[in-house]
Chain A
């Protein structure tokens, strides 16, 4: 009886100790997966913005052709056109080789319907920053790679989103064009929550 009590007490102690020893890592695991889930949710909102026509139409691949996509062009999800009149940004990404972007895109939005939008500088994003038709995972990896994000830390990326005049244009694109979702302040906050939680990238999509 005495032995049984001792064994029971020992087992209880051992189990308690084991459960005590296990508890913190479970908590950690739960909170880290919760924070990873939150971080991925924050990233998803960033992706919603980066893949929006106001951003992705000019983050195009090596063909250097600006795209026209989105409801502002009467197109549904997945449909797109090349920029009218066979325009190309060229390797310079500012049209220096043919027609400069600034031939039509001035420093402010033109106010008439279908007239060109404008910002202090108007250009395609550097070719290594392609977002057009890229998955959430691909853009996530690109944005974290200083070789492909303009040599920026993630804080500098957020600062760029918060202050660059052409990026800001995405939320004030002029008449007839749908602005990018959220606000630039919100996107900066999404980026920050994602960064402090370790900046995880989503799994690849099929």
Chain B
């Protein structure tokens, strides 16, 4: 069945069973493989994307529920090819990733947090990030990187990246 889907501001039409989890549509239909499969049952956070600014586990989100909603994946987080999102910049500065497998999910949860709460406390960071599991145990660096992104001037002006909904199309 053909379904329309808006990902990172681009309209796509995909032809899959509407019960297919968004994760597999992203990875297999749209070749957006930055979003990772960890558990497939909403337990690890590796597959986190933003839907209308809210962090959601794409492994359990059926495509059918996405009509008219805006999906943002890790590929859409940077404002342009030349410029990283303040969180991505902070991730590099603090050398957050080890194996890296959990990191696109971590970044999407962190970006959703800063979009609604530009200056989170440690407790608020822990609360928002506790559903993203890191096998390499990088939790301390993740928290530091979020704090430094939040306090940077760049962050203050560029956190609301979800306004970037230019309706380009792949059709």
Chain A, range 43-86, C-beta contacts under 8 Å to B = 84-86
Report chain B residues within 8 Å CB of A118. Answer: 60
B127 lies within 8 A of A115 (CB): no
B130 CB contact (under 8 Å) in A99, A110, A116: A99
Q: How far is the CA of A99 from the CA of B117 in the complex (A)?
A: 13
Check A99/B127 contact, CB under 8 A, given A104-B60, A106-B60, A108-B62: yes
B131 lies within 8 A of A114 (CB): no
Annotate A101-145 by CB proximity to B: 1 below 8 A, 0 otherwise.
Answer: 011101110101111101000000000000000000000000000
Annotate A28-54 by CB proximity to B: 1 below 8 A, 0 otherwise.
Answer: 000000000000000000000000000
B14 within 8 A of A: no
Q: How far is the CA of A106 from the CA of B109 in the complex (A)?
A: 17
Report chain B residues within 8 Å CB of A108. Answer: 62
Number of A-B contacts (CB under 8 A): 59
Report chain A residues within 8 Å CB of B62. Answer: 106, 108
Report chain B residues within 8 Å CB of A98. Answer: 124, 127-128, 130
Check A115/B131 contact, CB under 8 A, given A104-B60, A106-B65: no
A87 lies within 8 A of B130 (CB): yes
B78 within 8 A of A: no
Report chain A residues within 8 Å CB of B131. Answer: 85, 87, 99, 103-104
Q: How far is the CA of A116 from the CA of B42 in the complex (A)?
A: 7
A116 lies within 8 A of B55 (CB): no
A107 lies within 8 A of B55 (CB): no
The interface size bin for chain A is 20 to 34
Closest to B21 in A: A110
Q: How far is the CA of A97 from the CA of B120 in the complex (A)?
A: 10
Chain B, range 48-73, C-beta contacts under 8 Å to A = 48, 54-57, 60-62, 65
Check A103/B127 contact, CB under 8 A, given A114-B41, A114-B43: no
B124 lies within 8 A of A116 (CB): no
A106 CB contact (under 8 Å) in B40, B61, B128, B130: B61
A162 within 8 A of B: no
A116 CB contact (under 8 Å) in B48, B60, B65: B60
B128 lies within 8 A of A99 (CB): yes
Report chain B residues within 8 Å CB of A115. Answer: 40-42, 60
22 sampled A-B residue pairs with Cβ under 8 A: A84-B43, A85-B131, A87-B130, A87-B131, A90-B127, A98-B127, A99-B55, A99-B109, A99-B127, A99-B128, A99-B131, A103-B42, A103-B54, A103-B55, A103-B57, A104-B57, A106-B65, A110-B42, A112-B40, A115-B40, A115-B41, A115-B42
Other A-B pairs, 11, CB within 8 Å; known A88-B127, A90-B127, A106-B62: A87-B131, A98-B128, A99-B55, A99-B109, A99-B128, A99-B130, A103-B131, A104-B57, A106-B60, A108-B62, A116-B41
Ordered nearest first, which 9 A-B pairs have the shortest CB separation?
A: A98-B127, A115-B41, A104-B42, A110-B60, A86-B130, A99-B131, A116-B42, A98-B128, A104-B57
